[in-house]
Structures are given as structure tokens and as C-alpha cells.
Structure 1
Amino acid sequence: MRVLLTTWGSRGDVEPLAGLAAALRREGAEAVVAAPPDDDFGTLLARAGVPHVPLGPTVRSIVAGPKPPGAQEAFRLAPALVAARFETLMSAAQGCDALVATGLMPAGARDVADKLGIRYVLACFHTLGLPSRHSAPGRRPGTPSDEGADLATKWKQDADRVNALYGGAVNTHRAAIGLPPVDNVRDYVFGDQPWLAADPVLCPAPDDVDVRQTGAWFLPDDRPLPDDLRAFLDDGEPPVYVGFGSMASYTQKDIAKVGIEAVRAQGRRVVLARGWAGLTAIDDAADCFVVGEVNQQALFPRVAAIVHHGGAGTTHAAARSGSPQVIVPHIADQPSWGAKITELGIGVTATPETLADALSQALKPDLRVRAEAVGAQIKPDGATVAARLLLEG
């Protein structure tokens, strides 16, 4: 069996597919990943031994500018990604038995699968975009929702915004390959039963949405920590990790200074992750160690707390480690992960202004005990579950 996995998004969208691809390989199947051409992602997929088909523009070129992308950029990017999917996936899916799509609204992926007559699965790493009577849709570019409307109306407005972003391009490309138009791009992309690739402890499926929950897709990482980092960890009490992944610099103004000072206020040392914001130490003090790409599965259990942006991947990795978290959310699903770790009692949500106080709470012994207990409940085999579901058809 051969499976095409595709996404366009940050590392938190790409690494789970590498985990699924590795699981498919362990089960005797072949997998290829079509993902953005960022160097980070190529390196990640090469480490996992997964063939990488470049898809669309780099993510950094879109998100790492001097200011956040606005509606105009979104309305330019959406049709460009649709065109890239029709072109790239149509070629990459030849000889495949299934296509799994994730990431930023993968309009164009199911169309290719339908044209080729192969199985299609939409997988999501959180429930933010799934229409439910329990929650409102997240923000999308386009006409704002009527704040006074009921949830059903808001979800209808959400579908209208997706159509405005993607509908014209989707139906133009569908016509070119002999497919009829679709009226509701969002629901067509989701299909009859999306997969929820998140752990049920951290992200239980809504009771009114038909999803198949597999658990989170982890990529096993056996890389040793660098010698100098291990020496730093061994030379004193566990430090606090501070990192914001692929969040761009415009959301991270002064965040390195804020983070380091908040940690120092608790009498702790700091492991600072550069990330896409290029965070650096604020002085030459020996209590701050700056890291680039590192094995989080090896590092996170060794720190006193994990300060991060609240992406799905980092939240799962932190929860699994048993170390307390402080989430400083910025966009999209991040506030919901912050709310969940607070509800579970395994961490605290903060703003840059409240980070010092939040960290003092996260470092309390009882929160560590709770984090370790919840960490033991996080299932590590979600990728294997998903791989076997694909193989079973």
C-alpha cells in the first residue's frame, strides 16, 4: 500500500505526518509527504526517512515578515495553495491507494483523490474548525461574523467565508479536470468523518461531531541531546524551557527578555529555544542556554516547566513529558490549548505581562505531581492506530 500525506502549515502540521509516515512504514506500507518547501521541514522528513514532495510556497515567506499577514495576503494565498495542490498532488498521488490531508484548509486535496478514485481522509489536530453546537468557529479572513447570531448562523457564515477564500479557485480547477462544482468547500474538505489526531485527554471529541479519534501522531526521536546542553542540565536544578516554535518575530517582540526575566525571578536557569523568531540571550550570564533544533522528547522531562505558544504539537509533547506548562497563546487554536491545560491542572495560561506570576504557579510541587499523572495517560501510539486504520481500508 502507498499513501500520500499532505499539509501546508507550520512544523506542528508537518511533524505529525512524519510520525504517521514512519508508522505506515513499520506496518509495511509506503508513504510520501507533500509539504511546504521550508528547509526545516525537508530536514525533518529526511531524518524520518520520508520522501518529501515540495508543495506551495515556504511557510516562512508568509508568516515571518515584519508584520502579520492580513486579509489581502490570505485571499492571495488561498487560490495559490489550491492551484499548488491540484498540480502537485495530482502527480504525487499517482499509484497511491489513499490520500490524507491536514493543515491549513486543504482545499484541492479531496478533489484530486476523487478524480483518481482513491481513499481520502481529512485529519485535524484540534476541534477548532469542526462545526459544533458547543463552540463558535474561529476567525477567518472575510466578512466578520454577526456577534449576536446563534451558533448555527455563525457556522453558516464560516462556510461562506471558506467559499469566498477557496471556492472560485477550487471550482475552476475542478472544471479543468472534468469534475462538477462544489457548493460548500469546507464541508466537502471535511468529508463524512474527519479524523481527530489528538489525545482524548487533551482534546476530547465533541459529542455532536462524527469524528474518528486516533490519538496524537508522535514521531519517535532517539537523538541524544548535545553534550553541552546535557552538561548544562546536569549542572544545577532543572531549568525552565522557553520557546515559541514557528511563531514569527512580530508576535514575539521582547518575548525573550520577558521570558528570561520571568524565569530568573523564580531563581531558575533558562533553556531558550531560538525558533523562527530567532530568540537570543539578553546578556552573557551563564544561567541561560540557547538551543536550536533539539529533541524535545529527551529535553522536556528534564526541565522544571515549559513556556511555549500553545501549538497542538508542543502542547502534546509537553503534556506527555510530565512537566508543567505555561502557555502564552497568540493565534488560532492556541488559546483553547491554554484553557485545556489550565482545566486539567497541568499548567497555566499567561500573557507576556502575567508570565512571571503564571510561572510561579506552574513551579508549585502539586502542579508537577498532577502534570506527571496526566502525562502517564497520554497515549504514544496514535500514529500506529491511524496507520492500521488506513491499511484496514
Structure 2
Amino acid sequence: MRVLLVAYGSRGDVEPMLGLGTALRDLGAEVRVCAPPDFAELSADAGIPLVPLGRSLRETATKAVTGTAKPPAESLSERAARMVTATYESVVAAAEGCDAVVATGLIPAAAAARSAAEELGIRYLFVAFFPSYLPSPHHPPLAWPGRPLPPDETDNRVLWDQNAEHLNALFGAAIDTHRAAVGLPPVDDVRDHVLTDRPWLAADPLLSPWPQSADLDVVQTGAWIRPDERPLPAELEAFLDAGEPPVYVGFGSMPVREAPDVARAAVEAVRARGHRILLSRGWADLAPTDEDGDCFPVGEVNHRALFGRVAAVVHHGGAGTTTTAARAGAPQVVVPQMADQPYWAGRVAELGIGVVHEGPTLTLDSLSAALGEALTPGTRARARDLAAAIRTDGATVAAELLRNTVDPS
């Protein structure tokens, strides 16, 4: 069996795909991944070949967040058309000889992946990593940047209908124009076409349950976790051993505005609570603002090994970081910035395993207050109790399901 994994998105989209890829490879499958070039090293570490998709996502995201990007010379619809064409060309070449394409990420890219699968006559599957990407009467759709949900509308079905209309207006023409150019028929509904009537949900059922409904036949496999057996660097081990558990602060593949100010506020707030600090660089390029020995800069390390040795995890609320911290039993302070992050922040608070930071920008006072709640004995006890119930077999479940789907015999 040969499988192509397509993920046009951040690390939170790519790393779970590498988890699935590893599980598929363990079953004897040949796997490659189509993703932004930023994740070439991550993919190489997993032993899965990467086909670069588009330009550097980190560079694009950093310019957008810091306000250094030039005003776009083309409309969103025009950019979507370019993404559809470029993704299709990459995917149709990379998927040659494959039995299936599994896609996630931005709608235009996933639509192109489905077109490529149709052209090659192979199986297409879509996966979401959090429930609110998928239509349900039990929750509203994800709010798009620059297009907040109408505050006076509370009927989720109406909101999802509006969501479908919005996606059709943004991407329908670009997708249909490209499909016509490669000899494929137009689509009636962009969202339904991309998601299919049986999408997969790769999220832990305790952390992120799917509210069952008759609208969509969702297959929840559990979270796709990439195996990571790397030891922690010796310098980090020495820092951890030199005192009480520190507080980890990091924003993963999320750039932030005024990174030095954010780093300074984080360090001062953690110190105010009497703890040492692990400051993760990430795409925000966070760095210590002084030379005191209580703050240690962290690069690319094994979070699974690290989070079990910290007092709390302060993070942006990505699916992977939330799940890893929950598995480790570490209390969390979630500082959501965008996309699925408010959802994960809400789940952490509902489960009582951490708190939601007030607003997307850290200050000494705001983070100190949030840490005061997260570091209580009750929160730590709930986090430890829940950790034992988090499933670790999601990628294996999905790999076996995919094998049975592609080859029922």
C-alpha cells in the first residue's frame, strides 16, 4: 500500500500526519508527505520523505503577524486559485502510484488534493484535528479571520449554512475553474466536497469528544501522535535537575507581535510565582531578556519527555501541545491566538486541567493571575488523573482503518 499525506498548514497539521505515516509504515506501507518546506527536517526525523508544498509558511505567517507583509496584489479568491493550481500539480505528481490520499489543512489545498485523487482514480480521505472544523448542530463553525460570526445568531445550523455560503463565495470559482481545466466536473458545495460525508477526526475522545448527530458520519480515531524517543539535551537535563520543576512557556509554530516584550512579561510572571522558566523559542523566537540562571532557552526537544517534569505548560492552545501536556499530567495555561486555539482553551478549562489566559497578549499581571489558578493542588490533581485516560493508539487505529478501507480483503 502506498499513501500520500497532504497537509498545508502549521506544525499542528503536519506532525499528526507524520504520526499516521509512522503507523502506516509499521504496517508495511510506503508513505510520503506533501507539506510546506518548513517541515523538511521534522519529516526527515520521522523517516518520511517530504514533497515541498508552496513557500515557507513561517515566513508568510511572521510577516502577517508582525505587520511587515506588503498589501496583497491579488484578492483572496485569486490567491486561492493560485494555491489550488500549485497544490494540484504537486499532489498529482507525488500521488502517482499511490492507493490513497489523506488530506487536511486549508480548504483550497485540500480541494486540490481531492481533485488529484479523482484524476488518478484513488481513494481520498479528509481528516480534522478538532471538532469545530466539522459541521454539527452542537457547535458553531470556526470563525474566519476578518469574518467573525454574527453575534445575534445563536442557531448553529444557520451559522453552518452561512459558513457553506461563505466558502462557496471565496473558493468555489477557483476550484471549479481548475477542475474544468483538468477535465473534472464542478462541485455543488465546496465544504461538503472537501470534507466528504465521512471525514475522520484525529482527536482524543476524552479531550475532544465528537457530539454525535445525524448530519455527518464522523470517524473518531483518537489523536495521531508521532513517536518520539529522543533524550533531552544534557544541558536541559542539568537545568531540570538543579531545582524545583520549572514552568514551560512556548507558542510553537505561532509568531507573536513584540516577542521581546512577551518574553519579558512571561519571565517576570513566572518568577513572581516563585518558579524557574523554560522559554521555548518556536516561531516567535522567544529568548531570555537577561542572564539570570533561572531562565533556560529551549529549542526543538521531545515535549513528551519534557512536560512530565514541569510545574505547568503555558502555550498557544494548539492541538498537539494541548494533547501532549494533557498526556503528561501538566497543568496548562492556554493563551489562544487564532483558529482552533480558543476551542482547545475552552476544553482545558471545562476539564479543570488548566485555565484560559485573558486575551491573546501576555502581561506580567495577566499571566501571574492565570498561573495562580493553574498551579493550585486541585488543578494538578485533575491533570494527573486525566492523563491516565488519554489514548495513545489513535495513529495505529487510523492506519489499520485506512489499510482495511483501501484493501478490504
Q: Indicate yes or no: 2:258 matched with 1:260.
A: no
Partners of 1:252 and 1:107 in 2: CA distance: 35
Matched, 1:85 2:90: no
Q: Kindly state the Cα deviation for residue 355 of structure 1 after the two structures are TM-superposed.
A: 1.4
Q: For 2:337 and 2:259, how far apart are their aligned partners in 1?
A: 9
Deviation at 1:34, TM superposition (A): 0.3
Secondary structure of 1:302's match?
coil
Out of 120, 124, 130, the residue aligned to residue 128 of structure 2 is 124
Q: Distance in 2 between matches of 1:118 and 1:211?
A: 21
Instruction: Find 2:327's aligned residue among 290, 313, 320.
Output: 320
* Aligned AA (2:340): D
CA contact (8 A) 1:272 1:289 kept: yes
SS in 1 for 2:98: coil
For 2:220, the aligned partner's letter is: Q
C-alpha displacement at 1:255, in angstroms?
Answer: 1.6
SS at match of 2:126: strand
SS of the aligned residue for 2:267 comes to helix
Counterpart CA distance in 2 for 1:260 and 1:155 is 41
Q: Which amino acid aligns with 2:46?
A: A
1:176 aligns with 2:197: no
Is the Cα contact below 8 Å between 1:56 and 1:80 reproduced in 2?
A: no
Write out aligned runs for 1:333-352 (5 A): 333-351=340-358, 352=362
* Counterpart in the other structure of 1:113: 117
Q: 1:333: how far off?
A: 1.1
CA–CA separation in structure 1 for the residues paired with 2:357 and 2:77: 32
Match of residue 382 from structure 1: 394
CA displacement at 1:76 relative to structure 2: 4.8
Q: 1:340 to 1:97 in 2, by over 3 A?
A: same
Tell me the secondary structure at the aligned position of residue 323 of structure 1. coil
Cα offset, 1:61, TM superposition: 2.6
Matched residue type, 1:111? S
2:384 maps to which of 345, 365, 372: 372
Whole-angstrom distance in 2 between the partners of 1:254 and 1:232: 24
Within 5 A, what are the aligned runs for 1:243-322?
Answer: 243-250=250-257, 252=259, 254-322=261-329
Q: Deviations over 1:277-313 (max 9, x none)?
A: 1111011100000011111011110101000000111
Summarize the alignment of residues 188-199 of structure 1 with structure 2, pairs less than 5 Å apart.
188-199=193-204
Q: Which amino acid aligns with 1:45?
A: S
Q: Pick from 213, 223, 228: which aligns with 2:220?
A: 213
What's the counterpart of residue 167 of structure 2?
A: 162
CA shift, 1:62, in A, is 1.8
Helix, strand or coil: the match of 1:7?
A: strand
The 3-state SS of whatever aligns with 1:183 is coil
1:389 is aligned with what amino acid?
L
Show the counterpart of 1:48: 46
Structure 1 counterpart SS, 2:308? helix
Question: Matches of residues 126-165 of structure 1 in structure 2 within 5 Å?
Answer: 126-140=130-144, 145-149=149-153, 150-165=155-170
What amino acid is aligned across from residue 123 of structure 2 in structure 1? R
Give me the identity figure in percent. 55
| Matching of residue 361 in structure 1 with residue 373 in structure 2 | yes
Question: How big is the alpha-carbon RMSD for the aligned residues of Structure 1 and Structure 2?
Answer: 1.8
Question: How far is the alpha carbon of 1:57 from its aligned partner?
Answer: 1.8
Do residues 329 (structure 1) and 331 (structure 2) align?
no
Cα deviation for residue 56 of structure 1 reads 1.5
Shift in alpha-carbon separation, 1:163–1:68, aligned structure 2, 3 A: farther
What is the DSSP-based 3-state SS (H/G/I as helix, E as strand, rest coil) of the residue aligned with 1:78? helix
Query: Structure 1 residues 228, 144: closer, same or farther in 2, change over 3 A?
Result: closer
C-alpha separation between the residues in 2 aligned to 1:81 and 1:341? 34
The question of whether the paired residues in 2 share the 8 Å contact of 1:239 and 1:305 is answered with: yes
Taking structure 1 as the reference length, the TM-score comes to: 0.95
For 2:259 and 2:101, how far apart are their aligned partners in 1? 36
Shift of residue 176, structure 1, vs aligned partner: 1.4
Cα deviation for residue 366 of structure 1 reads 2.1
1:68–1:382 distance in 2 versus 1, CA, 3 Å? farther
Three-state SS of the structure 1 residue aligned to 2:105 is coil
Paired residues of 1:307 and 1:327 also in contact (CA < 8 A): yes
1 CA distance for matches of 2:76 and 2:232? 38
How many Å apart are 1:78 and its aligned residue?
2.3
Once residues 259 and 343 of structure 2 are traced to their aligned partners in structure 1, the CA distance between those partners, rounded to angstroms, is 19
Q: 1:74 to 1:283 in 2, by over 3 A?
A: farther
How far is 1:152 from its partner? 2.5
Deviations 1:190-244 (A, max 9, x none): 0011100000111100222421000001111111111110000000000000001
Q: In the aligned structure 1, how far is the partner of 2:351 from the partner of 2:68?
A: 32
Q: Secondary structure at the match of 2:134?
A: coil
Deviation at 1:183, TM superposition (A): 2.1
Q: Deviations over 1:335-362 (max 9, x none)?
A: 1111111111111111324211111111
AA aligned opposite 1:323: A
Note the alpha carbon deviations across 1:27-62, whole angstroms, 9 max, x for none: 111111000111xx1000000000100111221132
User: Is the CA contact (8 Å cut-off) linking 2:77 and 2:174 kept in structure 1?
Assistant: no
- Is the Cα contact below 8 Å between 1:90 and 1:112 reproduced in 2? yes
Whether the aligned pair in 2 keeps the contact of 1:98 and 1:118 (CA below 8 Å) is yes
Partner of 2:234: 227
Gap runs ≥5 in structure 1: none
- Partner of 2:33, secondary structure, is strand
Partner of 2:125, secondary structure, is: strand
Letter in 1 for 2:136: S
After TM superposition, the structure 1 = structure 2 runs for residues 19-98 of structure 1, keeping only pairs within 5 Å, are: 19-38=19-38, 41-65=39-63, 66-67=66-67, 74-98=76-100
Would the alpha carbon gap of residues 373 and 30 (structure 1) be closer, same or farther in structure 2, given more than 3 Å must change?
same
Q: In structure 1, how many angstroms separate the alpha carbons of the residues matched to 2:9 and 2:226?
A: 17
In structure 2, the CA distance between the partners of 1:277 and 1:152, relative to structure 1 (3 Å rule), is same
